Every structure is written in structure tokens, then in C-alpha cells.
């Protein structure tokens, strides 16, 4: 246990005592901290994140400090961000984009991504970020499901991943390229922005209007587009204060890419609603570069991920000692459980423990967390946010659930609906949305236990979804891509535990007649999958097997594949297909 | 080992993690990670592969230097103590 001081803080935490805060918190009272659109026109995320600061005299503050891959540095103030997002909103208006229509981005971490996100929200269109490392197939599937009307991307990404998909996406009306470039069927973003006015008045926005679409993966079927509304900004703001302990003047660095929900909720929205300065690094992970950024930018609050922490640990304890990390006040982590060694390593090597927290695409914001003032049990995800009710439940055969009150019992982590950033549906998938709820609980799909002190501990997934580098990967999406190869008869994909990235995507493949397993074919199949899916989704390992175990109804038994991989007992195999 | 042999060793280790790689299109003085679709884990596996193939141990603190094909070949040349041969 890491005990926290009860007094003598350099900066007093926003929540000095968890229990008291929990007892007195109400979302209705917290809502008074938001500005609301002038003239009682509702609630809009972009107004809370950008324009309110200009109206309240903070326009000169730094909103974004962008660090380019090759040493470039650009600072954007709130006033500049307001003007540039106004231009983007005007641009959408000029293209005839209506509120509610979907604007996608496929971009690395460059300023245009932040401008497109907030400009889209101003126009009351729906912003949907795609991870730029996705291959063409995940991009096609998500744009199709999301009814993409506009895509903002770069020439290089467009040529490599999108150009060949245009025929499959007839509803995609506008592709805006950051550097222009004159690809057929595209428009020049900068030229359009230059022509647009930098004044824009946000129209009336209902808190329940759709604002963001974030894709996540299930065990079966296509990716799911989780719908979030403008009301979510209340969760973003409150969790920034309580879980990340944001104070005025903080320099905040969220290392997550906005292609994933963390990079949008906390890489863009939450810190901006607090008027903070956000550090944005375009480059990929590099231990020395990261320590240098923490030092040179005087980062005070740092939100990162377990995979990154474990890679920093691999780089050794000596490296951080060469840097002055004295500005840091709080380190938090999300994406997958942070192992106890990593929490303690933070304290030893960085001088601060790492605060793990838990949430998911559907929850829109942090739900369970370790807080600045609360003692840490290393390895635990912490305790539910004030205003959030969490429990462990057991699924019953009739489809309902019962609450498990006894401590230390494993079950599914469930949340009582009602927090502002809860997803409002999966786009076009009412049935899948309904299945997430039972007996008044939202069922998260994560297995956990709660100890006698109310701390929650992650156990694993309740389904076959793979958690790799903090991202959820749907095995079905990977299997489908493998099955497109002419040599593949069957494919089963699992997550194999791996110490740095949590789980590694591993594929088991059986071949059609006439094909022989071998190193050349193994590499060919890996290349095939990587080209379609991108490195972040494709398998890292591939093993040939004569056949895959199936249930009598024909479903591939991924659980059994995983048990065999781990050398565990194979459990009840009575539903297995009888040998031919 | 001369530069050609080192380059071959690097490309072999790269192809083991990113078999879709087409060596002919790789620009030797531009960052590998901008040209290839490899994530952080792939990069670590690539270095581990290089370590094994060349019987050496590249410290993590040097990873930041290993950005381009040319930089890798230069680095390995120094590390293995041989004079980099003709380009």
C-alpha cells in the first residue's frame, strides 16, 4: 500500500477526502461549473473547451503546444484555437454539411486534427476520429458504419489507405487533404480554411445531441460505433478535476492518440474545459524524447498507458535521473491494468506513484480511479468516481444479473447508468446496445473483484476481445481478414499474455487442401493481414494447426485455443465437435 | 562486416516483423517508422532480432538514434567495431 499524506501538499488536491466527496457529490451541482452556450442555447463541447475561455478573458493562454516529429514547435492560444475552429465550422457550413452528419479524421497528432475535432463540434456535426495506423479494412468498415460524409486526412494516408476505397464509400462526399496535393476526388483543406470566415456562432445545441462517435470492438460481428452526446462534457470536466486533479496553470500531457477515446476525451476535451495547456507530441514513443518533453515543457500532470510505462521501465532507472522531472505532480495511466511493479517503479524512478484508472469507450470518461489524495493499493484500478455507482454482478441463466456484495468475489464489473458521458447507443445497432444492460446495470464486459475496502481489481475480459497496448481488438475482424487469403481454410484469433503490451494478437490458421505450412507462407499470411488491418490490429504471431476446435454449432472455440496456448486445463469440452 | 552485409542484416530483421516490406521502395535516409507500418512492439521485436542475428546487445538508450536505414547501418558499423566499408 502506498499511503498518501493527509496534509502538507505542494498543491492541495481538488478532492482532499474521497469518502466525503463521494457523499456530497451531485452531477446537478457539478453542472454549474460549465458555462453553457450564451443566450441559454444549450450545451456544446466546443464552447466549453474553447470559446468560453475567450469570453472570460483567457484567450491569450496557451491551449496547445505542438511538438513536431523533427523538432518543430508551435503554440496555439485559446484565441487562435477559437478562430481556427470557427473557420473549420464555416468550412463545413460552406460544404453543406448539416448538424448530426459525421466528419471523420484519419490523421497523426498534428494541429489540424484538434482543429477539425473542435470545429466539427461547433458546427454540431459528429466527430469520429480514426487511428492513423489502421489499415484500409478497419477504415472502410468504420466509415461505412458511421455514414462518413467528410474525411480529413493527409495526402500520404489518403493514397495509401483510402483512395482505393472510394467506390465502396459512395456517401463520402468530401475528402479534405491537409496539404492539398490535388489527388483526384479530394479538396485542399488549407485553401478552404483560408476562404472561410473566422467568425462563427454556435447554433442551439441540445445536451443530448450526438457529438462524438468512437468505434470499439466486440467478439463477433462488425466494429461498434459508440454514440456520445454533448452532455458528456460534464463528465470530461469533472473527471479532469477529480481523477486527474487539474488545477489552473497546469501543463498536461496525455500521450494517447486521439484516434482512440482517451486521446479525445482527455487529449482534447477535458484539459481544454479547464483552460489548461496541452502538450501534443507528434512522434512515436521514445524513452529519452519523452523524459525530455516532461522536463522541457514543465509537464505537471501526465496521463499515459501501461505499455508505455513498461517500455520506460525497460529503458532503465538511470535515464530519468538525467532529467529534471520536478514539475510533475500527478501521473495517471489507463488502457489495461497497471501491474504493481509499474506503480512502485514510478515512485522509485520518477519520484511519484502511477495512478491507474479504469474506463472504456462506452463510458466516455474515467469511472474508477486512484486519486491524488487516496492511498494506492498497487495493482488496483481504485474506487468509483464520486457520482458513479459500480458493482460486481453475476450473470444468471435467464439473462438477468444479481449483485455480488461479498468482497473478493469475481464477477462482471457493472455500472449504474446515469453519468453524463455514458454512450447513448451503438450506431444502427439497437439490439447490441440493449444487450449491454440488465436489471438496471450497464454490463462492462470486464471481469473484476472488489475488496473489503471498496477497491476494484481487474481480472480479465468476460468475452474473447483482445486487449493489446490498451486497445481493444475484435478477433472476428482479424479472422475475417485472414480468411480472405486463398490459402486459409479456418482462422481463430486470441490474445496471448505478453509482459509489455498486455496481450499480443495470435492467430491459429488451418490451410485449404493443396497448401503446405511453412515459413514462407507464414510470412505471406502475416503480410496479408498487416497490409489490410495495419500493424496495430494484425496478428503478431501465426501458428498453423490441422483444424480448429469448434462447438457443435460450428463456432470456433477461442477459449480452448487460449487454454491450450497457456497450457491450462481445457475445461468442459462436451460441446466440442465430434471427431470426424 | 561491410555496409552491404549490415544492410542485409537490418532488412532481414525488419522483414521478420514486417514481412510486407518491399526493400526496393525503402528510402535509406528517411525515418523507417514513417515509411513502414510498424508499431512500438514491432520495433522492439526488430531490435531483439538484430541483437540475435548479429550477437550483440543494443542498449535501450540508443534506440533513439536508430531511426533510418542509414543510421542503423552506421550505428551497427561502430558497434561491431569494423570500419564501415564502401557505400
Q: pLDDT for A409-435, tens place per residue?
A: 999 999 999 999 999 999 999 999 999
CA distances from A47 to A42, A90, A211, A323 (A): 10, 15, 13, 37
**Candidates A289, A501, A524; nearest CB to B41:** A501
- Whether the pLDDT of residue A24 is over 60: the answer is yes
- Whether the pLDDT of residue B84 is over 50: the answer is no
pLDDT-based confidence at residue B83 (cuts at 50, 70, 90): very low
Q: For residue B85, what pLDDT is reported?
A: 45
As a whole number, the mean pLDDT across chain A is 95
Cβ-contact A76, A63 below 8 angstroms: yes
Tell me how many domains chain B contains: 1
Q: For residue A161, what pLDDT is reported?
A: 95
Per the listing, cell 485559446 goes with A78
Q: For residue A579, what pLDDT is reported?
A: 43
User: Is residue B54 in some structural domain?
Assistant: yes
User: Is residue A572 in some structural domain?
Assistant: no
Q: For residue A475, what pLDDT is reported?
A: 94
Do A290 and A430 have their domain in common?
yes
Q: For residue A577, what pLDDT is reported?
A: 52
Do A433 and A545 have their domain in common?
no
pLDDT-based confidence at residue A578 (cuts at 50, 70, 90): very low
B39 lies within 8 A of chain A by CB: yes
**Chain B interface test: which of A157, A284, A309, A520 (most B C-beta within 10 Å):** A284
Percent of chain A with pLDDT over 90: 90
Q: For residue B62, what pLDDT is reported?
A: 87
User: Is residue B25 in some structural domain?
Assistant: no
CATH of the domain at A494: 3.30.300.30
Does A531 contact B61 at a Cβ distance shorter than 8 Å?
no
Percent of chain A with pLDDT over 70: 98
B51 lies within 8 A of chain A by CB: no
Average pLDDT over every residue of A91-95: 98
- Whether the pLDDT of residue A575 is over 80: the answer is no
Task: Give the three cell numbers for residue A51.
Answer: 470559446
pLDDT-based confidence at residue A143 (cuts at 50, 70, 90): very high
- Helix then strand then coil, in percent of chain B rounded to 5, is 60, 0, 40
Task: Give the three cell numbers for residue A499.
Answer: 509482459
Of A302 and A580, the structure prediction assigns the larger pLDDT to A302
Task: Give the three cell numbers for residue A202.
Answer: 454556435
From chain A, the residues in CB contact with B38 under 8 A are 535
Nearest CA in chain A to B20: A527
For residue A169, give the nearest of A148, A190, A194 by alpha carbon.
A148
Q: Number of Cβ pairs closer than 8 Å across A and B?
A: 60
Q: Are strands A301-304 and A251-254 parallel, antiparallel or unpaired?
A: parallel
Do A313 and A399 have their domain in common?
yes
Do A416 and A503 have their domain in common?
no
Cβ-contact A244, A270 below 8 angstroms: yes
User: Is residue B26 in some structural domain?
Assistant: no
Cβ-contact A462, A412 below 8 angstroms: yes
- Whether the pLDDT of residue B87 is over 50: the answer is no
Cβ-contact A313, A287 below 8 angstroms: no
Give the contacts of A356 (CB within 8 A, at least 6 positions apart).
A306, A332, A333, A334, A337, A338, A343, A369, A370, A380, A381, A382
- Residue B41: give the domain boundaries: 3-19+32-79
A292 lies within 8 A of chain B by CB: no
Do A472 and A330 have their domain in common?
no
Tally of CA atoms within 13 A in the half-sphere of A92 that contains its CB: 32
Average pLDDT over every residue of A101-107: 98
Does A133 contact B39 at a Cβ distance shorter than 8 Å?
yes
pLDDT-based confidence at residue A182 (cuts at 50, 70, 90): confident
pLDDT-based confidence at residue A180 (cuts at 50, 70, 90): confident
Do A209 and A331 have their domain in common?
yes
B81 lies within 8 A of chain A by CB: no
Beta strands in A456-528 (DSSP E): 456-461, 466-468, 471-473, 488-498, 502-511
A139 lies within 8 A of chain B by CB: no
User: Is residue A533 in some structural domain?
Assistant: yes
- Whether the pLDDT of residue A154 is over 60: the answer is yes
B40 lies within 8 A of chain A by CB: yes
Does A523 contact B37 at a Cβ distance shorter than 8 Å?
no
Helix axes A287-296, A306-314, angle to 10 degrees: 110
From chain B, the residues in CB contact with A69 under 8 A are 31, 34
Task: Give the three cell numbers for residue A527.
Answer: 503480410
Does A315 contact B39 at a Cβ distance shorter than 8 Å?
no
- Residue A73: give the domain boundaries: 18-447
What is the per-residue pLDDT across A272-288, written as a single tens digit (0 to 9) for each?
Answer: 999 999 999 999 899 99
User: Which ipTM value was assigned to this complex?
Assistant: 0.91
Rounded Cα distance between B39 and A308, Å, is 12
What is the per-residue pLDDT across A41-78, written as a single tens digit (0 to 9) for each?
Answer: 999 999 999 999 999 999 999 999 999 998 999 999 99
- Whether the pLDDT of residue B80 is over 90: the answer is no
From chain A, the residues in CB contact with B45 under 8 A are 540
- Whether the pLDDT of residue A138 is over 80: the answer is yes
Task: Give the three cell numbers for residue A417.
Answer: 447508468
User: Is residue B53 in some structural domain?
Assistant: yes
3-state SS of A82-136 is HHHHHHHHHHHHHCCCCCCCEEEEECCCCHHHHHHHHHHHHCCCEEEEECCCCCH
B48 lies within 8 A of chain A by CB: no
User: Is residue A145 in some structural domain?
Assistant: yes
User: Is residue A519 in some structural domain?
Assistant: yes
What is the per-residue pLDDT across A559-571, written as a single tens digit (0 to 9) for each?
Answer: 899 999 998 877 6
Neighbours of A261 (CB within 10 A): 26
- Whether the pLDDT of residue A256 is over 70: the answer is yes
Nearest CA in chain B to A289: B64
Average pLDDT over every residue of A216-244: 94
B15 lies within 8 A of chain A by CB: yes
pLDDT-based confidence at residue A99 (cuts at 50, 70, 90): very high
**Candidates B18, B40, B63; nearest CB to A530:** B18
Rounded Cα distance between A191 and A442, Å, is 46
Amino acid at each position: 500500500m502506498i499511503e498518501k499524506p493527509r496534509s502538507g501538499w505542494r498543491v492541495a488536491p481538488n478532492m482532499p477526502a474521497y469518502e466525503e466527496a463521494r457523499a456530497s457529490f451531485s452531477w446537478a451541482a457539478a453542472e454549474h461549473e460549465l458555462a453553457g452556450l450564451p443566450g441559454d442555447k444549450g450545451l456544446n463541447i466546443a464552447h466549453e473547451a474553447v470559446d468560453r475561455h475567450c469570453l472570460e478573458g483567457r484567450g491569450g493562454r496557451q491551449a496547445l503546444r505542438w511538438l513536431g516529429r523533427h523538432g518543430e514547435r508551435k503554440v496555439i492560444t485559446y484565441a487562435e484555437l477559437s478562430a481556427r475552429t470557427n473557420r473549420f465550422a464555416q468550412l463545413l457550413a460552406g460544404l453543406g454539411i448539416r448538424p448530426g452528419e459525421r466528419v471523420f479524421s484519419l490523421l497523426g497528432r498534428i494541429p489540424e486534427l484538434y482543429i477539425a475535432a473542435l470545429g466539427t463540434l461547433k458546427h454540431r456535426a459528429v466527430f469520429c476520429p480514426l487511428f492513423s495506423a489502421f489499415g484500409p479494412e478497419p477504415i472502410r468498415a468504420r466509415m461505412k458504419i458511421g455514414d462518413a460524409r467528410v474525411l480529413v486526412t493527409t495526402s500520404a494516408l489518403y493514397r495509401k489507405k483510402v483512395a482505393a476505397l472510394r467506390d465502396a464509400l459512395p456517401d463520402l462526399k468530401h475528402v479534405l487533404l491537409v496539404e492539398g496535393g490535388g489527388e483526384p476526388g479530394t479538396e485542399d483543406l488549407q485553401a478552404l480554411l483560408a476562404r472561410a470566415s473566422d467568425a462563427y456562432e454556435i447554433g442551439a445545441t441540445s445536451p443530448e445531441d450526438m457529438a462524438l462517435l468512437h468505434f470499439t470492438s466486440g467478439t463477433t460481428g462488425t466494429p461498434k460505433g459508440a454514440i456520445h452526446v454533448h452532455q458528456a462534457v460534464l463528465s470530461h470536466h469533472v473527471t479532469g478535476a477529480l481523477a486527474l486533479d487539474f488545477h489552473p496553470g497546469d501543463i498536461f500531457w496525455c500521450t494517447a492518440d486521439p484516434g482512440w477515446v482517451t486521446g479525445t476525451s482527455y487529449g482534447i476535451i477535458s484539459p481544454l474545459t479547464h483552460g489548461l495547456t496541452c502538450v501534443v507530441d507528434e512522434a512515436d514513443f521514445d524513452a529519452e524524447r519523452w523524459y525530455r518533453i516532461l522536463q522541457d515543457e514543465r509537464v505537471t500532470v501526465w496521463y499515459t498507458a501501461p505499455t508505455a510505462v513498461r517500455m520506460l521501465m525497460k529503458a532503465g532507472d538511470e535515464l530519468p535521473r538525467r532529467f529534471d522531472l520536478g514539475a510533475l505532480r500527478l501521473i495517471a495511466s489507463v488502457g489495461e491494468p497497471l501491474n504493481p511493479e509499474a506503480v512502485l517503479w514510478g515512485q522509485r524512478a520518477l519520484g511519484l506513484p502511477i495512478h491507474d484508472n479504469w474506463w472504456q469507450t462506452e463510458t466516455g470518461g474515467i469511472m474508477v480511479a486512484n486519486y491524488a489524495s487516496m492511498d494506492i493499493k498497487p495493482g488496483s484500478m481504485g474506487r468509483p468516481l464520486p457520482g458513479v455507482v459500480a458493482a460486481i454482478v453475476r450473470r444468471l441463466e435467464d439473462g438477468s444479473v444479481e449483485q455480488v456484495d461479498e468482497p473478493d468475489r469475481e464477477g462482471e464489473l457493472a455500472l449504474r447508468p446515469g453519468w453524463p458521458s455514458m454512450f447513448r447507443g451503438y450506431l444502427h445497432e439497437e439490439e447490441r446496445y440493449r444487450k449491454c444492460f440488465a436489471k438496471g446495470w450497464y454490463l462492462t464486459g470486464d471481469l473484476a473483484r472488489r475488496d473489503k475496502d471498496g477497491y476494484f481489481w481487474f481480472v480479465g475480459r468476460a468475452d474473447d476481445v483482445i486487449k493489446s497496448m490498451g486497445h481493444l481488438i475484435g478477433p472476428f475482424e482479424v479472422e475475417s481478414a485472414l480468411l480472405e487469403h486463398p490459402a486459409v481454410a479456418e482462422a481463430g484469433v486470441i490474445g496471448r499474455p505478453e509482459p509489455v503490451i498486455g496481450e499480443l494478437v495470435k492467430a491459429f490458421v488451418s490451410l485449404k487442401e493443396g497448401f503446405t505450412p511453412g515459413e514462407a507462407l507464414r510470412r505471406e499470411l502475416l503480410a496479408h493481414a498487416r497490409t489490410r488491418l495495419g500493424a496495430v490490429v494484425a496478428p503478431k504471431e501465426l501458428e498453423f494447426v490441422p483444424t480448429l476446435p469448434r462447438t457443435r454449432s460450428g463456432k470456433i472455440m477461442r477459449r480452448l485455443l487460449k487454454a491450450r496456448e497457456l497450457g491450462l486445463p481445457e475445461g468442459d469440452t462436451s460441446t466440442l465437435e465430434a471427431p470426424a | 562486416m561491410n555496409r552491404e552485409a549490415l544492410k542485409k542484416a537490418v532488412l532481414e530483421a525488419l522483414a521478420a516483423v514486417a514481412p510486407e516490406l518491399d526493400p526496393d521502395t525503402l528510402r535509406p535516409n528517411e525515418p523507417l517508422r514513417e515509411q513502414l507500418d510498424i508499431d512500438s512492439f514491432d520495433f522492439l521485436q526488430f531490435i531483439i532480432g538484430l541483437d540475435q542475428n548479429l550477437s550483440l546487445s543494443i542498449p535501450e538508450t540508443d534506440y533513439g538514434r536508430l531511426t533510418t536505414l542509414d543510421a542503423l547501418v552506421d550505428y551497427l558499423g561502430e558497434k561491431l567495431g569494423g570500419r564501415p566499408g564502401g557505400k
